[in-house]
Structure 1
Amino acid sequence: MARYMISFDRGAMDHISEAEIPEVGRAAHAVIQEAMDAGVFVFGGGFSYDDGDVQPAVVAVDGMVTDGPYPESKELIGGVTIVDVPTREEALKWAEKVAVACRCAQDVRRFMDDPEM
């Protein structure tokens, strides 16, 4: 099995109206429940950037902290779902389900294998 991160950028769901948000939320929760029932769900969640306590930060090797928001050249992640599946094709199938539910494209990336982790 391999772990994959399925994610979307901040703002990817901005085209969804306030009236549609509850429906999108129900659809997203249904997909996550399906992944849980299938035994492939590892972790998932969205990121909030509306409060000073949750702004992104970069911690350098010398301990210096630089608070966000990042310059325009840096992407901010809006949300992630981590799945543990046997193949890339399976990860892409779950990404498609998330994309349909969230009404936005999803990025799929495989975590490196590390036998010590």
Structure 2
Amino acid sequence: MPQYMLIMRGTDETNAAMMANVDELMAATRLFIEETAKAGVYVAAEGLDDPGQGVVVHFSHEAPVVTDGPYGETKELFGGFFLLDVASKQEAVEWAKRVPSVPGSKIEIRRVPGEDEVPQDNGKFVKEGALRESSGQI
């Protein structure tokens, strides 16, 4: 089955609203993860730290430039994700509708291409596959 990433996106306002109800939302999120696990579609889920604690590496100059995060003029922030193994984009949408959230937040849904969709004869992917195998990742 294809995998879909449900990307949690919010603003400073929705993040503040989430933090005001953090215990309730965390409990609801644990239940959501349990539901996806019982349904056999759960792959992974992670939240991210405060965007102000991150940095950004810019590749627009000769040498990469590192600045404090998250970004310059951003209105939405990536707050975490759920990775689900579901049959279709529509099924991913149905799960996304159930993600605990606050008004104003969004879930972006992106399909994760399978290994069989990547050109395996490409030298870069051959080297990556060998590296993953040697490190015990596959």
Fold match, TM over 0.5?
Answer: yes
Corresponding residue SS for 1:108: strand
Matches within 5 A, 1:32-111: 32-49=33-50, 52=53, 55-58=54-57, 60=59, 64-69=64-69, 70-73=71-74, 75-98=76-99, 101-103=100-102, 104-111=105-112
Q: Which aligned runs of 4 or more in structure 1 are off by greater than 6 angstroms?
A: none
How many residue pairs end up in the alignment? Answer: 112
For the aligned residues, what is the CA RMSD?
A: 2.7
Gaps of 5+ in 1: none
Q: TM-score, normalised by structure 1?
A: 0.76
Higher helix share: 2
Kept in 1, the 8 Å contact 2:5–2:83? The answer is yes
Aligned equivalents of 1:73, 1:83: Cα separation in 2: 27
Kept in 2, the 8 Å contact 1:42–1:84? The answer is yes
Aligned equivalents of 1:59, 1:42: Cα separation in 2: 31
Gaps of 5+ in 2: 121-128, 130-138
Percent identity between the two aligned chains: 27
Kept in 1, the 8 Å contact 2:51–2:77? The answer is no
